[in-house]
Structure 1
Amino acid sequence: MKDLLFPEPPAAAEIERLDQVLSERQSAWWDAFYARREGRQVPFFGRAPDESLAAWVEAGDIQPGPALDLGCGNGRNTVYLAQAGFAAEGVDYANEAIAWAGQRAREAGLPSLPLTACSVFDLQRPLGHYALVCDSGCFHHLPPHRRALYRDQLLAWLRPGGVLALCCFRPEGGSGLSDDEVYERGTLGGGLGYDEDQLRGFWGATFDIECLRPMRAQAPGSALFGAECLWVMRARKPQV
């Protein structure tokens, strides 16, 4: 295991400097990514929710309540949560993703589903409010210097006993770049992969990790989404 850089948030001036080093994927890049969806075989462009999220909800490991879906994309998990009785809202960096999620919500009979186009680092939400924060693919696109800031923000938004449901790249799913190489090359290379020790060391510093396993691949046409190149993690904010 290689230790992750920035176990704690760096100073504001350092964050600004490193943001400039890694400025390749601004909102316009993601808008173009989601705009080019016709005829593309992108697994998470479907309607199916994550197999892990559905399993945990249906088993009662996550109880309905206010839910925040970060990096919601086309809203597949947001819609699922709303239909399962959560007061769900979706957030994504890309306007095109949010427009698509709105279309999906209307098709599902959820025209008032709250959806916001915003960077997670500009997002203002009540502290201690959410029963669930869902992240299916946001964390592995974060630059190393913003990881701890993100972790601390999610912890603050969750109520005591609230759950983080995370889905991120395993080493074989990511770019293969180390944190040092990210800054040497000025790119995340499409997303960073993590090993189990890295995830346990990073998230376990502030959350109680209840489940961490490879995602279960799903057969074509399944009502659930799953790919073996991903981790899924259920972690809970401590009660005190």
Structure 2
Amino acid sequence: MDEKILNNDQLYNLLDSLLRDPIVFWDDFYEDRDKKIPFFKNSPDENLVEYFRDGLNPTLVLEIGCGPGRNAIYMAKQGCEVDGLDLSKAALKWAQERADEAGANINFICKSLFDFNVEPYTYDFIYDSGMFHHLAPHRRITYLNKIRKALKPNGYFGIVCFNTDGAPASTDWEIYRDRSLKGGIGYSEERFREIFEEHFNIIHLRTMKNTPPQSGMFGIDFLWTSLMQIKGE
């Protein structure tokens, strides 16, 4: 069959097919809950706790790539109305069990960000802890556009992603040449700013703090943390 590329969606789907299937990968990843994965611990990110302690007070929140729900639960317990988005059924099954145990009311949505339709200017705060560095390069522009569309004017965006201690700083060309995202993409500060500064005012950008087990928070220093505010159109 002669398959033609007639629009951007078809092009993106072709590029997606060169890499791993994210639904299969993440369902398999979350199936074994006993793996020694640091972020399987049911504790919020230390930077997220800091944002709330410093006065971030959103009403309606979207967490993209929410996984087993640890940050979504924390934000719900702070009084936020939370939508938790993830494409893995296995992750959201775990997240719902945790939310029920914590008495947290969260609207979990099993869908890819790229298939998620949202009314413009919906959310006060969008949070991504670990999705961005697993994102294929051709999906970055759509990722940014989705976030910008979903945020209210003056809304905030928080992110946690690999720095170059967490993963290799693979170039975009290397991803497609090797047909692999490997363990994720590590971002230098320069590259991070290059991607986000056009659309966001970067309020904080720092290395995540290592946190001891008794802190009740998650933190490992091979990750960037950043809080940003959307720029006016």
TM over 0.5: yes
Specify the alignment match of 1:148 in structure 2: 141
- Measured against aligned partners, the alpha-carbon deviations of 1:59-95 in whole angstroms (never above 9, x if no partner) come to 10x2221000111011000000000111111111110
Aligned counterpart in structure 2 of residue 48 of structure 1, from 29, 43, 48 = 43
In 2, are the aligned partners of 1:140 and 1:192 still within 8 Å (CA)? yes
Specify the alignment match of 1:25 in structure 2: 21
State yes or no: 1:96 paired with 2:85: no
Aligned counterpart in structure 1 of residue 186 of structure 2, from 160, 184, 193 = 193
Q: Shift in Å at residue 116 of structure 1?
A: 1.0
Q: Shift in Å at residue 12 of structure 1?
A: 3.2
Aligned counterpart in structure 2 of residue 58 of structure 1, from 53, 58, 67 = 53
SS in structure 2 opposite 1:208? strand
SS in structure 1 opposite 2:152? strand
Distance in 2 of aligned mates of 1:130 and 1:229: 29
In 2, are the aligned partners of 1:57 and 1:63 still within 8 Å (CA)? yes
The list of structure 1 runs, each at least 4 consecutive aligned residues, that deviate by more than 2 angstroms after superposition, is 10-14
Number of paired residues?
A: 227
Distance in 2 of aligned mates of 1:202 and 1:212: 13
TM, length-normalised to structure 1: 0.91
In 1, are the aligned partners of 2:169 and 2:188 still within 8 Å (CA)? no
In 2, are the aligned partners of 1:88 and 1:114 still within 8 Å (CA)? yes
SS in structure 1 opposite 2:115? coil
Q: Shift in Å at residue 239 of structure 1?
A: 4.2
Give aligned-pair identity as a percent: 35
SS in structure 2 opposite 1:114? strand
State yes or no: 1:206 paired with 2:196: no
Specify the alignment match of 2:101 in structure 1: 107
Q: What residue ranges of structure 2 are gaps of 5+ in the alignment?
A: 1-6
SS in structure 2 opposite 1:125? coil
Q: Shift in Å at residue 108 of structure 1?
A: 0.5
Q: Shift in Å at residue 26 of structure 1?
A: 2.8
In 2, are the aligned partners of 1:170 and 1:194 still within 8 Å (CA)? yes
Specify the alignment match of 1:128 in structure 2: 121
SS in structure 2 opposite 1:221? helix
Q: What residue ranges of structure 1 are gaps of 5+ in the alignment?
A: 1-9
**Amino acid of the residue matched to residue 18 of structure 2?**
V
**Amino acid of the residue matched to residue 38 of structure 2?**
P
Aligned counterpart in structure 2 of residue 118 of structure 1, from 111, 122, 146 = 111
Distance in 2 of aligned mates of 1:120 and 1:158: 14
Distance in 1 of aligned mates of 2:167 and 2:155: 28
In 2, are the aligned partners of 1:49 and 1:224 still within 8 Å (CA)? yes
Specify the alignment match of 2:4 in structure 1: none
**Amino acid of the residue matched to residue 90 of structure 1?**
G
Q: Shift in Å at residue 52 of structure 1?
A: 0.6
In 2, are the aligned partners of 1:165 and 1:232 still within 8 Å (CA)? yes
TM, length-normalised to structure 2: 0.94
Q: Shift in Å at residue 121 of structure 1?
A: 0.4
